[in-house]
Structure 1
Amino acid sequence: MAEEFHDTACDASYRHHLQGICVDKKAIYWSFTTTLVKTDLNGKVQLTIPVANHHGDLCFHNGKLYVAVNLGKFNDPDGHADSWVYVYDAATLRELARHEIQQVCYGAGGIGVRDDRFFVVGGLPDGIDENYVYEYDDQFNFIKRHVIKSGHTHLGIQTATFANNRWWFGCYGEPKILIVTDPEFRMLGRYEFDCSLGIVGLPDGRLLVADGRCQGEAGCTGWVRLAVADEKLGLRLCGN
């Protein structure tokens, strides 16, 4: 149940930084670029596997993890990305499938799911003042490219989740940016809130947002905090 979720940290560190999170009722899944990690709700590591660079944001659906993967260049105006979705069994982290999604021409970086369809986001070259969302069916047949009239965000969109009947997108930049849209990707707001390392909705309407840091030889860590929707701020951390 959602009330079991709380602010917590992954209890290990990894070579590369956190890219995204997702959850089921009993576990948190963390993508650390080259390591996929499963923990319990207290952050205790249960499973880890090495994965290809660059594994980005991920989502959980029907017992499986779907990870946005780019094996090529990000944010290249000439589109030299190599975009995929890798699929893993959530119970064991065993790889199940790979789906090529080369329509995501600036590099797949984030993924969300709604109504058995998958929505992939990713990189963005300088000088483009909108973002793109690529829609696929449950077999990863391409359906449509959606446009978000968001203005430019640094390196595009990093994380995505559908919750509370709206889309939430985390972006890099200084400051970090949260984009919120309606189900059809019409803008509802652009806020200064950092969920660029992970965001996922919970059954009770709250959201879990991720953060992390890298400290040289000590490696990279990650943690999650509960948040709620806020009309003025976009999101507000619970307890703030």
Structure 2
Amino acid sequence: MKFASIAFLMILAAAVAPGLSADDTKPAEKTVSTFPNQVDCEGAYPHHLQGVCTDGDAIYWSFTTTLVKTDLDGEVITKIPVANHHGDLCVDEGKIYVAVNLGRFNDPQGNADSWVYVYDAADLKEVARHETQEVFHGAGGIGVYDGRFYVVGGLPSDIEVNYVYQYDADFTFVKKHIVASGQTLLGIQTATFAHDRWWFGCYGSPAETLVTDANFKMIGRYKFNCSLGIEKLPGGELLVASGRCVKGTGCTGRVTRAVPDATTGLKLIQTK
């Protein structure tokens, strides 16, 4: 989401739910991921990274106005210009689903224009658009679990909970879920389901990660930054995105493997 008002907003104090236990942080599978420890996306782009996803063969990066597909070494396979604002994304059965807001974010009056755009994972050709106008403060992130899609997004500064909007496989609206997280800066940016729970990335100083169970009951709130992307990997690991923007050069993206951690929520796997 846009950073225009970040410097003028403050995160309100919120009660933190009990954290991850030692059992919660054990990998769900014993297989070792063959995914690289760290991957840098080739190139620089006009706007900052919003999210990442992978199907195991390629990585898909949303840079707000550019959608990029790379191989697992970060070399660009194809890229396309897209409408502002393309946010977080997920992949399911050969298609890329991106949360899109064509209106205003975080507006108390709800002047958003929320959609999910769908692209063919093979060539990034657009194949569908679904209205998700129920996402009242602007669609900014999306995750998929058990054949259903869950859209997250913006939040005014005076609201003490977050919202997750559930859709079926045809993007018929199902339910609005409430996450008793306390206020998070501009809502939730990124989402993925792994380890039988949801992981949500949020802006802030410092940025934070929310963890809930499958029914959106809070498990923990951690000072860990996955606000630019989080994705599940085989072997009980996750993929966390980071990025930076340099005036006159553009914005770049990186993904790093991570594992759950009882103290910090997540811990990056150090590169050799």
Indicate whether 1:24 and 2:55 are aligned: yes
Tell me the distance in 2 between the aligned counterparts of 1:4 and 1:18: 20
Partner of 2:101 in structure 1?
70
Report the CA distance between 1:164 and its aligned residue.
Answer: 0.9
Unaligned runs of 5+ in 1: none
Tell me the distance in 2 between the aligned counterparts of 1:45 and 1:230: 32
Tell me the distance in 2 between the aligned counterparts of 1:4 and 1:182: 26
SS at match of 1:204: helix
Q: How does 1:88-237 map to 2 (within 5 A)?
A: 88-237=119-268
Unaligned runs of 5+ in 2: 1-31
Partner of 1:42 in structure 2?
73
Ranked by relative contact order (alpha carbons within 8 Å, sequence separation 6 or more), the top structure is 2
Report the CA distance between 1:214 and its aligned residue.
Answer: 0.5
Percent identical residues: 64
More displaced stretch, 82-91 vs 6-15: 6-15
Amino acid at match of 2:233: L
Tell me the distance in 2 between the aligned counterparts of 1:124 and 1:209: 23
Contact 1:28 1:40 in 2 (8 A): yes
SS at match of 2:108: coil
Tell me the distance in 2 between the aligned counterparts of 1:202 and 1:30: 16
Could you state the TM-score of these two structures normalised by the residue count of structure 2?
A: 0.87
| Residues 147-192 of structure 1: per-residue CA shift (max 9 Å, x gap) | 0000000000000000111100000011101000000000000000
Tell me the distance in 2 between the aligned counterparts of 1:9 and 1:43: 5
Bigger strand fraction:
1
SS at match of 1:139: coil
* Aligned Cα root-mean-square deviation (Å): 1.0
Could you state the TM-score of these two structures normalised by the residue count of structure 1?
A: 0.99
Report the CA distance between 1:216 and its aligned residue.
Answer: 0.9
Report the CA distance between 1:11 and its aligned residue.
Answer: 1.3
Contact 1:2 1:25 in 2 (8 A): no
Contact 2:190 2:200 in 1 (8 A): yes
Partner of 1:56 in structure 2?
87
Amino acid at match of 1:11: E
Amino acid at match of 1:2: S
SS at match of 2:248: helix
Task: Give the one of 33, 48, 56 matched to 1:2.
Answer: 33
Tell me the distance in 2 between the aligned counterparts of 1:197 and 1:93: 21
Amino acid at match of 1:54: H
Report the CA distance between 1:59 and its aligned residue.
Answer: 0.1
Tell me the distance in 2 between the aligned counterparts of 1:4 and 1:229: 17
Q: How many residues matched?
A: 240
SS at match of 2:185: coil
Tell me the distance in 2 between the aligned counterparts of 1:194 and 1:229: 13
Contact 1:20 1:57 in 2 (8 A): yes
